[in-house]
């Protein structure tokens, strides 16, 4: 269990839904309790083992594959592509999405990010549909899905902000004429997005500051100006990224020439606007440039990759005396995209990325003398200690307090510590009990 998963577990394991709601603000300040309540019900059905809790995220991740398909179909509904061609692009997008590490990785964690991604995908699909045909039901769905997405994690605010930019473009292109049907639909959607924001406004102001400043003890550095570009390279892999990037560029060029300019332009805006907003916010307010906050931005990248695969020339390829069919080049491009993406997954899985908190807690427990207690930094990882300790021994773990020195044993996690913090802790706790992957156990 990671410290972040510990926070989700601690909120969701409460006895009642009312208690879940009461615990959530202090444990997960960057959201409303929608995910914690879902996890609460899930635990009631399947238990609180890591496998059971992570299965909820896995289910949401699988659902997102289907949502990608529907989103792409809606995106290209009014493009020059036929419905069959749009369906093919949607299928390719879903395949690339499903087989990429960045989307798989977060579906393995008992956190709110798969819920946020699924909600965003559903919201963007309805947003595009409402812009295309209008209708009260679609406008109402935009309000509801926008509120759900933002409630799942406040980072989802980046999406309605991006959609607002698109609406401004649509209205400006139509000459700001109120009698234009698309202008009226765009105005109604803008009202719907604003209504969703107003529903959540009382909670947003109080929680956004805590989330952006890392009040739970985390530490983030100011991002470099190239981070929005590096984001996609890091997430998809240094070997896979050049292949995917070339396919995406080809998709932009070919899709634009084919006449699918609005879908291509919207995908580019969706891909780049949120990372750039995070960069600006990081420089102007506080560091908030985090990969998981921009999780949905990888979807338009994969859509452009799918368009690039679809637009590859249909040419026969000869292998010896045999001639392969005319779809061989797109099939080869898809095979390369899948192969390199799977290679990135295999390479990632060969290394351990977790911290051995369970083993560290066992080592710390064995090092304690009667009446002594243990603590942990970062301090919010205390919930992991409470998860692994027996129910009758929870009093052996206390939250770290720099003004008190009651704990005899300290567990230090490698991540989310300010520079130089580890050395100061080691001066206070000079004896090393155990060095484990991602975590160290020290004693006074």
pLDDT of residue 209: 55
The yes-or-no verdict on residue 121 having pLDDT over 60 is yes
The predicted model gives 151-156 an average pLDDT of 92
Is there a contact between 384 and 1 (Cβ–Cβ < 8 Å)?
A: yes
Q: With 0.85 as the threshold, say if the pTM is over it.
A: yes
pLDDT of residue 217: 43
Q: Is residue 441 very low, low, confident or very high in pLDDT (cuts 50, 70, 90)?
A: very high
Provide the β-strand partners of residue 413.
439
Instruction: Retrieve residue 8's tokens.
Output: 């989700």
For residue 185, the number of C-alpha atoms closer than 13 Å in the C-beta half-sphere is 19
Q: What is the C-alpha separation between 117 and 57, in angstroms, rounded?
A: 11
Averaged pLDDT score across all residues of the chain: 90
pLDDT of residue 199: 85
Going 129 to 134 to 137 to 141, the CA torsion angle's sign is positive
Q: What are phi and psi of 24, to 5 degrees?
A: -55, -45
* Other Cβ atoms within 10 Å of 276 Cβ, number: 14
DSSP 397: B
pLDDT of residue 317: 54
pLDDT of residue 321: 52
Measured CA to CA in angstroms, residue 139 lies from 12, 119, 187, 197 at distances of 32, 16, 11, 14
The predicted model gives 399-410 an average pLDDT of 82
The predicted model gives 101-127 an average pLDDT of 96
Q: What is the C-alpha separation between 425 and 296, in angstroms, rounded?
A: 38
Q: What is the C-alpha separation between 382 and 137, in angstroms, rounded?
A: 45
Q: 162-179 as b/e, with b when 16 or more CB fall inside 10 Å? A: bbeebbeebbeebeeeee
The predicted model gives 204-221 an average pLDDT of 55
pLDDT of residue 404: 66
The predicted model gives 110-128 an average pLDDT of 97
Q: Is residue 286 very low, low, confident or very high in pLDDT (cuts 50, 70, 90)?
A: confident
Q: What is the C-alpha separation between 311 and 305, in angstroms, rounded?
A: 10
Higher-confidence position of 205 and 140: 140
pLDDT digits (tens, 9 = 90+) for 222-248: 888 899 999 999 889 888 999 999 999
pLDDT digits (tens, 9 = 90+) for 8-58: 999 999 999 999 999 998 898 888 999 999 999 999 999 999 999 999 999
Provide the β-strand partners of residue 440.
412, 435
Helices (H), 47-135: 50-75, 83-98, 101-106, 113-133
Helices (H), 134-226: 136-152, 158-173, 181-212
Is there a contact between 79 and 40 (Cβ–Cβ < 8 Å)?
A: no
pLDDT of residue 414: 86
């Amino acid at each position: 269990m990671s410290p972040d998963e510990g926070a989700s577990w601690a909120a969701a394991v409460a006895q009642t839904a009312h208690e879940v709601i009461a615990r959530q603000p202090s444990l997960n300040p960057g959201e409303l309790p929608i995910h914690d309540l879902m996890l609460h019900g899930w635990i009631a059905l399947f238990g609180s083992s890591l496998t059971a809790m992570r299965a909820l995220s896995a289910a949401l991740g699988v659902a997102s594959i289907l949502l990608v398909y529907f989103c792409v179909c809606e995106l290209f509904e009014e493009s020059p592509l036929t419905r069959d061609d749009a369906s093919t692009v949607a299928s390719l997008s879903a395949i690339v999405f499903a087989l990429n590490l960045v989307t798989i990785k977060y579906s393995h964690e008992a956190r709110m990010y798969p819920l946020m991604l699924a909600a965003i995908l559903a919201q963007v699909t309805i947003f595009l549909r409402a812009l295309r045909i209008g209708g009260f039901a679609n406008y109402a769905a935009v309000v509801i899905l926008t509120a759900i997405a933002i409630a799942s994690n406040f980072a989802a605010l980046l999406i309605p902000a991006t959609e607002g930019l698109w609406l401004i473009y649509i209205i400006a292109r139509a000459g700001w004429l109120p009698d234009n049907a698309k202008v009226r639909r765009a105005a109604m959607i803008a009202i719907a997005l604003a209504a969703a924001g107003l529903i959540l406004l009382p909670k947003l102001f109080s929680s956004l500051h805590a989330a952006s400043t890392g009040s739970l003890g985390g530490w983030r550095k100011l991002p470099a100006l190239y981070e929005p570009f590096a984001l996609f390279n890091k997430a998809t892999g240094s070997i896979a990224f050049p292949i995917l990037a070339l396919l995406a560029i080809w998709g932009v060029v070919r899709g634009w020439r084919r006449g699918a300019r609005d879908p291509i332009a919207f995908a580019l805006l969706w891909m780049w606007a949120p990372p750039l907003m995070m960069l600006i916010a990081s420089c102007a307010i506080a560091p908030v440039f985090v990969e998981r906050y921009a999780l949905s931005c990888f979807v338009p990248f994969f859509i452009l990759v799918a368009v690039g695969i679809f637009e590859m020339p249909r040419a026969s390829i000869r292998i010896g005396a045999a001639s392969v069919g005319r779809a061989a080049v797109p099939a080869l491009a898809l095979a390369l995209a899948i192969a390199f993406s799977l290679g990135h997954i295999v390479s990632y899985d060969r290394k351990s990325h977790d911290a051995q908190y369970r083993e560290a807690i066992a080592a710390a427990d064995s090092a304690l003398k009667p009446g002594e207690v243990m603590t942990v930094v970062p301090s919010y990882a205390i919930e992991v200690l409470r998860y692994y300790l027996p129910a009758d021994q929870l009093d052996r773990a206390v939250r770290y307090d720099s003004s008190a020195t009651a704990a005899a044993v300290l567990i230090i996690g490698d991540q989310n510590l300010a520079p130089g913090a580890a050395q100061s802790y080691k001066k206070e706790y000079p004896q090393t009990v155990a060095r484990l992957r991602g975590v160290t156990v020290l004693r006074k």
